[in-house]
A and B are shown apart, each in its own frame.
Chain A
Amino acid sequence: MKLGRVIGTVVASTQYEGLEGVRLLVVQPLNTALKNDGPSLVMADAVQAGPGDIIYWVGSREAALAMKPTFVPVDAAIVGHVDAVGSRDVTPRFEERG
């Protein structure tokens, strides 16, 4: 699993069956210092995240297991919101939310 920041949304009108209604978000992976770590990815959202949120996500087969029904064609999924890393509060301020 890795940390990430939600930076956008993806709209796709034609989808493989099972992906209908699944929110797709653009996520910038982060390191522990919350600095960018690698290129951004599109992820399925299992926890109602939104732009500006710091989240953690899981990749490969485990991403499909986070969705309902399982085994939908995704390879990265957001599985939790991060409130704090250590003693640092990382919840977005209201004006930072999209």
Chain B
Amino acid sequence: MKICRVQESVVSTMKHPTYEGLSLYCVVEVDERGEDTGKEFVAVDRVQAGPGDVVLVMQEGNGVRQLFGVQDLPIRSIIVAIVDQVHVT
């Protein structure tokens, strides 16, 4: 999983039917100190995250299909946790 910061929401009306009812956010990867790495992508939100939140993003399609309990789901990136603290020794 990757630590990311939530940026802006993505508004979409015409979409693949499996994306109905899901919220999408632009996220940017951050390092363990919270600095942006510049790698940006779009992720589905399952934990009610919002802009500015530091989150954990899973990028594994099979894991997403297990979470949703659906086969043939074309979703790869999903926000699975809101990070409170990262401790690096």
Contact = CB atoms under 8 A, between A and B. Distances in A.
B88 interface: no
Nearest to A88: B8
A1 B7 CA distance: 14
B11 A82 contact: yes
Contacts of A81: 12-15
Contact of A37 (B16, B19, B40, B44): B40
A36 B73 CA distance: 28
Given A2-B41, A56-B24, A77 B74 contact: yes
Would you call the interface of chain B mostly helix, strand, loop, or mixed? Answer: strand
A88 B9 CA distance: 10
A83 B74 contact: no
Contacts of B7: 32, 86
B75 A3 contact: no
A47 B15 contact: yes
A85 B8 contact: yes
B11 A47 contact: no
B72 interface: yes
Contacts of B13: 81, 83
Given A3-B26, A62-B61, A86-B9, 11 more contacts: A3-B10, A32-B26, A46-B16, A56-B10, A58-B75, A66-B16, A77-B74, A80-B16, A85-B10, A86-B51, A88-B8
